[in-house]
Chain A
């Protein structure tokens, strides 16, 4: 039986390897889950990065053999989301005034590309979820080990053990926080300025129930 004690999942399927370097204060109410890929080839490289003081990371890490590591408390926020897209712009639902604001931020003269998209992301963070995409303050992150391949424009196909583990973990978190799989679970590449394919296969698997 799975229980949660002080932000830690107590279950034989989870190995606790919390790294304080990736915890950055109390998280607000958890409203969503973001699915990530590490871009590395092993869990060890990610765990070593956390252990050596890396500041960014997510709450969970799933190795190629399906091992699930809890790397941050569920009560702590992690810097895992990055620079957000403007949700209403992506979904063609902005009112004209809001679209004008977003476009003016994107085209600010004298600003670097990175500053312009960062300013849009800051603007987004002032909105309430789900008017915007998940932020670090209200989402949990799950990293799944896997490299990117340009020839396929995809990340490595997760192993069957990884698919099983992400499904079990996501279902446990969805139940714990009363989330909706179809509305509150996201692929990182869809919400933030990362490789578009990041997390897509994982989300498809969770929603369809079979390996895409």
Chain B
């Protein structure tokens, strides 16, 4: 009996985690964009994100205010951009090499500023 309960709890937790992830962030598209007009754009060769890493970025990066974003953001000549769904709303996003990211509303205004540093960076192989 105890074994069955534990099993059910395990299934519930697993289902909850999966459901939570899928309902919070769903990536619709992801495209790597490199600004070739930037003289340092060849550093972008090292920058590769899988879809699972894009989801992880939005889960692990710290949300910061506009003021903090203005201080801490680092815009490198390469990014991933696309569309995502979050809490049943569609947004566009950008994730720059170095760990700065944004979620934009349908009108293009910043909805969330995100910075991935130190502990967050350590979870990714090529983001930072």
Which chain A residues have a beta carbon within 8 Å of chain B's beta carbons? 36, 38-41, 45-46, 49, 54-56, 83, 85-86, 89-90, 92, 106-107, 112-114, 116-117, 120, 147-152, 193-196
Contacts and interface: CB of A to CB of B under 8 A. Distances in A.
Nearest to A195: B75
Given A113-B97, A114-B99, A150-B104, A39 B39 contact: no
Contact-residue size bin, chain B (C-beta under 8 Å from the other chain): 20 to 34
Contacts of B47: 113
B128 A147 contact: no
Contact of A193 (B67, B75, B109): B75
Contacts of A148: 110
Nearest to A107: B43
Nearest to B81: A150
19 contacts: A38-B67, A39-B66, A39-B110, A55-B71, A86-B39, A89-B39, A106-B42, A107-B42, A113-B74, A113-B76, A113-B98, A114-B74, A116-B43, A149-B107, A149-B109, A150-B94, A150-B104, A150-B108, A152-B108
Nearest to B72: A56
Given A113-B128, A150-B104, A83 B66 contact: no
A106 B43 contact: yes
Nearest to B99: A114
A148 B67 CA distance: 12
Nearest to A56: B71
B70 to A, nearest CB: 5
Interface of B: 39-40, 42-43, 46-47, 65-67, 69-71, 73-76, 92, 94, 97-99, 102, 104, 107-110, 121, 128
Contacts of A149: 107-109
A91 to B, nearest CB: 9
Nearest to B98: A113
Given A112-B121, A151-B108, A40 B40 contact: no
B8 to A, nearest CB: 44
Contact of B107 (A39, A83, A86, A151): A151
A46 B67 contact: yes
Contact of B39 (A38, A55, A90, A151): A90
Contacts of A193: 74-76
Nearest to B93: A150
A46 B65 CA distance: 11
Contacts of B67: 38-40, 45-46, 49, 54
